[in-house]
Structure 1
Amino acid sequence: MTSADPGRRFRALAVQPQWHTRDFVSADAFRAWMRAQLELARPHLAPDRPNLVVLTELNGLPLVLRGAPWAARLGTFERAAAALFAARLPRTLPLMLREGVGPVRALQLAYADDNARLYLETCRDLAREYGVYLCCGSLPMPRYVRRGRRLRRERGVLTNQTVLLDPQGGLIGVADKVHLTPDEERGGVDLSPGRLEELRVFPTPVGDLGVAISLDAFRADVIGRLEAQGCTVLLQPDANGAPWTAKEGLPPDPAQLRDQPLAWLESSWTATTTGRSIRYAVNPMVVGNLLDLTFDGQSAITGRPEDAPALRSYVLTDPRPGFLALSPWVEDGPTEQLRQTGQDLAARSGHPRENSYHTGVLWADLSLPPRSGSPAPQTDHEEALEALLRGEAAPRPRWPAWVWWVAGAALLARVRRRMR
């Protein structure tokens, strides 16, 4: 494609960061961690074309720890969640009873308005400052409807949600994760599944963007829906909650255990090498141990075999074309050595190499023909988030702490009376 071509030339960047609980215990710590990721990308931003920066899945989930550094010292997420629920009982218990949700979802919803606003405003400011199209990653976030200058939250709903922003910090669109992993369902983080029919493609100067968060990129119904709408660039924010060289066993057949890197070939790589409209995919993966949870992987940017003829692939898999850029794992070696290293890196291993993961930034210069689609109408939720980003509306003000304590005490007294 020559410079006279009317097509799109842009640079895609995938950031592979390492997270720590300390990054989420305060608003300032979170802003610093998010900024550090854009600083990591800064040396690789192209000065002569648009840049698309893609961040990782659930990079807002640990904000549940905000304001409670003591909870981060409890060793496991189960203990931290239980302690936080008890400490925040005056806010969490009314949510459980009023909205019919479990304790983990109630814990997240209790501060969801504050955390969503912090997350969105942080990402807006970074998109503006660095002048990039930004896939913010994802976080557990409510669905909102605007009512004048207030945002009303949809009762009981909390989805794994990605937000796309333009270089002015304006909202491009939103996508919810449709297919949840067992750890995201009622027995884990307790999120609400998104609706397949709401997934849309967003025409931009950096591609006709479709979002398939983690497991969604493995699912034919999601990829098929995005391709039917002309998706050319697939974004797959990811947080793989297991050692990278361990076996995986997700539905529909957990008994069919495979190496995780082999399974991963069924997501972005397959979408770009065998699909119809999808030309490129960007798959950033977060690494690091959060309390007793392990996150690891290899970020990648994939394309058609003819676009990336060099043979390479994830560890534990055979080299193949289709990888435009691929993050190395922490080492190469025989299969059993790699499996052992994955266990050594994992949370609570006690090994000297525990939590010593690889971080970095991948980038690739991409070209596409001129876009032919037009933006889809905004949803009510997107209109609400756009108003928040513009400072035209906000979630309703939080009541003072003493109000929650009084309400909680009254509710507990009522429950005790009924139990007599």
Structure 2
Amino acid sequence: MTPGEAQPRHFRAFAVQPHWSAGDFASAEAFRAWLRGQLELARPHLALDRPNLVVLTELNGLPLVLRGVPLAVRAGTFERAALLLFLRHLPRALPVLLRERVSPIRALQLALSGENARLYLETCRDLAREYGVYLCCGSAPMPRFRLEGGRVRRDPGVLHNETVVLDPQGDLIGVADKVHLTPAEEAGGVDLTPGPLEELRVFPTPVGDLGVAISLDAFREDVILRLEAGGCTVLLQPDANGAPWTDLEGLPPDPGNVRDQPVAWLESSWQVTTRGRSIRYAVNPMVVGNLLDLTFDGQSAITGRAEDAPEPRSYALTEPRPGFIALLPWVEEAGPERLRAAGRERASGSGHPWENRYRTGVLHADLTLPPAWLPAPPRTPHEEALSALLRGEVAWPRRGPGWRAVAAGAALLGLVWSRQRRRR
């Protein structure tokens, strides 16, 4: 086909804003039902005459570590849950901790990564096929896999916050790892591995030349410039904002720049699309709900150029402006002080009658882009392994309990304990 014969790309984009709770991750069945519910929200609006792109939220696979441990689901705080989970999975987590020299929280996640990655990715694959959509799965803690001698191996110690994008047949389009981690994702929190900036690529599809900037990455100029240089026309920004929406925010790398969170959010996808460079549209879904003792809130949006959405509107606590093609309203409309109080009332542990009561929903917009002429980027070894796993061409990696390492670790703990007793 010559450029003169190519047709514009017409497609429909969706941003799903779900409510989550620890119980949604208590079992494989609960997780599948929770994720399916998000596609069901989109189902009545799916276009029949054009392809559909559905974008889910950040770290929607992280709480799978709770699966199968009812005490952790009811622990009340993530700190207590993490301790219960590590003790419950000690025979599997301790060998990883000793062998790969990682923190207990990363060892726990890596020890469970085979089953959790399989559940997460196969659920997303099946939903993409069933609903016939291009699916940005959100993101999840994901190890780095590779094919070796016809088998899949996991690289030691590596655990990214990773987005996976699938086509309507459930086949892999590509992955993207979060480059700029928040403090809660670093060593003092869930202890993830920053993604390499140079591995971010753009994926040409019928629903846009897709570039992914997970949450904080969409605020960072180095990420946006790289995606623009690669020809990105549709930015995907899966998000999980771990604070009341109307709180104050100081984002790294300048935590001293404190302002209302919605004001800070204008510096991500809205700013990217309205400044008029290659990125024409952005889809930014945000999860809401109190997950144990953590609060998540926000306003999902689809943004574009000012001429795409001339009607003035904006996030809570900000002045109306063009560029919002679709925007989910927040829970209230009021003056600044009342909005800040409303955010605190819904936060975890508030004790208020409105605690954990947030707005959920789905946004959609019909978008148009010129024909795609970008070549698809070559696949990484990790993508080759994921593609083979999703197609069922290779088996998912399994790791035994490592009883020798457990025995060695137990002996080491016993030695430390006996020495402490002698010192008393």
> Per the shorter chain, which TM-score range?
over 0.9
Q: 1:407, CA displacement in angstroms?
A: 4.3
Match of 2:409 among 408, 411, 418: 411
Cross-structure match for 2:235? 234
- Give the 3-state SS of the residue equivalent to 1:352 in structure 2: coil
**2:303 is matched by which residue type in structure 1?**
T
Cross-structure match for 1:281? 282
1:330-409 matches, within 5 Å, as 330-399=331-400, 403-404=401-402, 407-409=405-407
Question: What TM-score does the superposition give when structure 1 sets the normalisation length?
Answer: 0.96
Determine if the alignment matches structure 1 residue 268 to structure 2 residue 269. yes
Instruction: List structure 1 segments (4+ residues) > 6 angstroms apart after TM superposition.
Output: none
CA contact (8 A) 2:114 2:398 kept: no
Cα RMSD for the two superposed structures = 1.4
Matches of 1:160 and 1:297, distance apart in 2: 20
Pick closer, same or farther for the CA change 1:36–1:192 going to 2, 3 Å: same
Q: Percent identity?
A: 73
Q: 1:335, CA displacement in angstroms?
A: 0.6
CA contact (8 A) 2:95 2:402 kept: no
1:119-198 matches, within 5 Å, as 119-198=120-199
CA contact (8 A) 1:149 1:392 kept: no
**Structure 1: gaps of 5 or more residues:** none
Cross-structure match for 1:18? 19
Determine if the alignment matches structure 1 residue 206 to structure 2 residue 204. no
**2:97 is matched by which residue type in structure 1?**
M
Question: What TM-score does the superposition give when structure 2 sets the normalisation length?
Answer: 0.95
**2:66 is matched by which residue type in structure 1?**
L
Pick closer, same or farther for the CA change 1:246–1:414 going to 2, 3 Å: closer
Cross-structure match for 1:259? 260
CA contact (8 A) 1:209 1:234 kept: yes
Matches of 1:48 and 1:394, distance apart in 2: 37
Matches of 1:105 and 1:239, distance apart in 2: 20
Q: 1:113, CA displacement in angstroms?
A: 0.9
Q: 1:151, CA displacement in angstroms?
A: 1.2
CA contact (8 A) 1:90 1:409 kept: no
Determine if the alignment matches structure 1 residue 215 to structure 2 residue 216. yes
**Structure 2: gaps of 5 or more residues:** 420-424
- Give the 3-state SS of the residue equivalent to 2:161 in structure 1: strand
Cross-structure match for 2:422? none
**1:135 is matched by which residue type in structure 2?**
C
Matches of 1:149 and 1:18, distance apart in 2: 40
Q: 1:252, CA displacement in angstroms?
A: 2.4
Q: 1:69, CA displacement in angstroms?
A: 1.6
Residue-pair matches, total = 414
CA contact (8 A) 1:148 1:393 kept: no
- Give the 3-state SS of the residue equivalent to 2:156 in structure 1: coil
